[in-house]
Amino acid sequence: MNKMDKTKLIQVTKENEGKRIDAFLAAFDETLTRNAVQRLIENKNIVVNRREIAKNYKLKEGDIIEITLPPPTPLEVAAEDIPLDIVYEDQYLLVVNKPKGMVVHPAAGNLKGTLVNALLAHCKDLSGINGVIRPGIVHRIDKDTSGLLMVAKTDAAHLGLAAQIKDHSFLREYEAVLCGRIKEESFTVDKPIGRHKKDRKKMAVCEDGRNAVTHFEVIKVYDKFTHVRCRLETGRTHQIRVHAASIGHPVAGDSVYGKAHKDLNGQCLHAKKLGFVHPITHIKMEFDSELPDYFKNFLKKCGKVDI
């Protein structure tokens, strides 16, 4: 086995007995699709009870699934001199205010103009835990979500920050404009999120998804929209957007989980605050960012009936 390969063991419980392995793993791990699982099975990277299996294998209680993920195919990620809004930086980490419209890391067909391209030009060293594709990236925000993002320069800092995210002690607070009028002053959405059954590019609330909790607080109610503060307890892909849509109040401008808006280019969602204990110095740190112009301009228009 290559030293860079990553192995994961999963024991099948009674409630998952009878499920197809490709469907089960795609729901269990949001980074995998059913097609990806099937390819891993074909390449003998997934075995059950140390035996090779068919792509349509049905699980039995007590089965031990062993997944060996090969290292990603290296991409040539070029450093690019792209301006960065750096809120904080030291020798271990930095906090950057990402603009709306910027992709966080390169992917096939999108290798330029990303935050990682800009970081490679700015920093000599970045954490290598996520490989050459996502150097230094501890957590992500969507392309059309603006706001604060943490970047690790060393592996030790990366591991320390990731541990805080895992135990829910890492503060991530957003502001958003949701469609419709919300009567409650505050509320919590506690619904599991997994890969959409039919559209694998989307996420959805589903019973077999991963635990996901978002706390909402109303800031101001307008005629057709509500300005809210959102605090993540967990950090699933598209969590705020999926949870907001699930209660009938999608994020304004979100064409994936709601509908586009003529005054917005993508969802009206901003990662406003980050709070954590510095993984090396152990000093408690908190950062707050100003709402960007697109967000403030939309709030001004929200007071108009004809929006």
Cβ neighbourhood burial of 137 (10 Å; 0-12, 13-18, 19+) = buried
Helices (H), ranges, the chain? 21-28, 34-42, 115-122, 155-166, 239-246, 293-302
The helix (H) or strand (E) run that includes residue 257 is none
Residue 86 is predicted with a pLDDT of 97
User: Cα-flanking dihedrals φ and ψ of residue 142, to 5°?
Assistant: -65, 160
Asked if 142 and 257 touch (Cβ cutoff 8 Å), the reply is no
For residue 214, list its beta bridge partners: 189, 232
Residue 266 is predicted with a pLDDT of 95
Q: Place 160 in a pLDDT band, splitting at 50, 70 and 90.
A: very high
Q: For residue 15, which of 208, 206, 146, 189 has the smallest C-alpha distance?
A: 208
Q: Place 1 in a pLDDT band, splitting at 50, 70 and 90.
A: very low
Residue 122 is predicted with a pLDDT of 93
Asked if 269 and 257 touch (Cβ cutoff 8 Å), the reply is no
Torsion-angle region of 109 (φ positive above 0: left; ψ -120 to 50: alpha; else: beta): left
65 versus 107: which is more confidently predicted? 65
Q: Of the residues 22, 29, 63, 142, which is catalytic?
A: 142
Q: Which CATH class is domain 6-69?
A: alpha beta
Look up 142 and say whether it is catalytic.
Answer: yes
Residue 124 is predicted with a pLDDT of 79
Residue 307 is predicted with a pLDDT of 42
Q: Establish whether domains 86-166 and 171-273+287-302 are of one fold.
A: yes
Report the mean per-residue pLDDT for the chain: 90
Residue 128 is predicted with a pLDDT of 81
Report domain extents, the chain.
6-69, 86-166, 171-273+287-302
Residue 109 is predicted with a pLDDT of 66
In the predicted model, what is the mean pLDDT of residues 144-169?
93
For residue 205, list its beta bridge partners: 193
Is the domain 86-166 a CATH 3.40.50.1260 member?
A: no
- pLDDT (tens digit per residue) in 36-71: 899 899 999 999 999 999 999 999 999 999 999 876
User: Regarding the domain with residue range 171-273+287-302, which homologous superfamily does it belong to in the CATH classification?
Assistant: Pseudouridine synthase (3.30.2350.10)
Instruction: In whole angstroms, give the CA distance from residue 155 to residue 279.
Output: 11
In the predicted model, what is the mean pLDDT of residues 1-27?
81
The β-bridge relationship of strands 225-232 and 269-277 is unpaired
